[in-house]
Amino acid sequence: MPCVRSIGAALFHVLAQAHALPCILLHSCPTLQDLANKHAAELNMQTVPSLNIAYTEERGYVTADVAKAENLHVLNLSGTKFRQMLRAGDDIPEWFAFKSVVQVLREQIMSEAN
């Protein structure tokens, strides 16, 4: 868990997955959040809770708890499928990634291919 100090401010960044995708920047991971909260005082930092956000057909973005409680249909796109769609030039749903981000990623993929 890296801790970066810059201009007197501390940034504590916990990644729950090996990669971070647009709109899935930080998955809620209670175990890691609990660990960060436990050691916050000794590290002289303040933690900010991360909610597990889901995108549903019925209501758009809601917390995963709400989606489950209301039996909403959660839309999902795996990292593997996302990368396949990027490489193939397929449309990426806007609920998953901003168009501007998809454009930058595609430009990078094309530059690596040349």
The confidence score (pLDDT) of residue 10 equals 44
d(CA 102, CA 110): 12
Check: CB of residue 56 under 8 Å from CB of residue 62: yes
Q: Which amino acid is at 16?
A: A
In a shared domain, residues 51 and 81: no
DSSP 20-58: -BTTBS----HHHHHHHHHHTTTTT--------EEEETT
pLDDT digit string (tens) for the chain, length 114 residues: 444 444 344 444 444 443 444 433 344 456 677 777 888 899 888 877 777 889 999 999 999 999 999 999 999 999 899 999 999 999 999 999 999 999 999 999 888 887
Number of domains in the chain: 2
> Is the domain of 70 the same as that of 83?
no
Does 62 lie in the same domain as 14? yes
pLDDT at 31: 67
For position 47, what pLDDT does the model report? 78
Predicted local distance difference test score (pLDDT) of residue 48: 76
Query: 53 with 9, same domain?
Result: yes
**Domain encompassing residue 93:** 77-114
Which pTM was predicted?
0.58
Residue 77's closest CA among 63, 95, 90, 58?
Answer: 95
Q: Are 11 and 1 part of one and the same domain?
A: yes
